[in-house]
Amino acid sequence: MSNLVNVPKSGGLSNTNSNISFPTWSSWIDEMFNRELPSVFTSNFNTGMSSPKVNIKETEDAFEVEMAVPGLNKSDFKIDLDNDTLSISTEVKEEKEHTEENYTRREFGYSSFKRVFTLPESINEDHINAKYENGILNIHLPKKEEVKQKPVRSIEIS
């Protein structure tokens, strides 16, 4: 009994009696590096908190910054103004220890974020204020008087 094997000019072996196709070395390597990694490898698990989303609204008199950051206290925030740069950050550390009969369970956590904004020159830095209410941080950035939009007025032609 003899099995004949065709050897193509490319040098690879193929079995003419089989419908099974084996991946080539290059296609196997491509698949290995192009497949999606599990989310645990692609997530940013070192930060402990994702960067919160920010809404910025401009009115005639000011810019209003809203940041959704539920679950924090107002004392958790640090807001700094350095020249024309406004930075908003927080760092929260939590430790819990529970001891019961034969075991002790310790849990700890750390979360932080920092958002930095370059302010326009039109901001009156002396009157910036912030409040934290119902999980929303609001920062009021008033404009200087000289840059506020003045109402339209009609000019008479003489």
Residue 119 belongs to what domain range?
46-147
**Res 35 pLDDT > 70:** no
Spatial CA neighbour of 72 closest among 97, 52, 44: 52
Backbone angles phi, psi at 75, to 5 degrees: -70, -15
Q: Is residue 26 part of a domain?
A: no
Q: What is the pLDDT of residue 43?
A: 40
Give 126-142 pLDDT, tens digit per residue: 999 999 999 999 999 99
Question: Which pLDDT belongs to residue 40?
Answer: 42
In a domain, 113, yes or no: yes
Q: Is residue 50 situated within a structural domain? A: yes
According to DSSP, the residues that pair with 93 across neighbouring strands are 110
Output the CA–CA distances (angstroms, integers) from residue 48 to 10, 31, 45, 71, 120, in the order listed: 53, 31, 6, 14, 31
Q: pLDDT above 70 covers what percent of the chain?
A: 69
Question: Mind listing the pLDDT tens digit for each residue in 138-157?
Answer: 999 999 888 777 778 888 99
Per DSSP, what are the bridge partners of residue 81? 86
Task: Flag whether 15 is in a domain.
Answer: no
User: Count of domains in the chain?
Assistant: 1
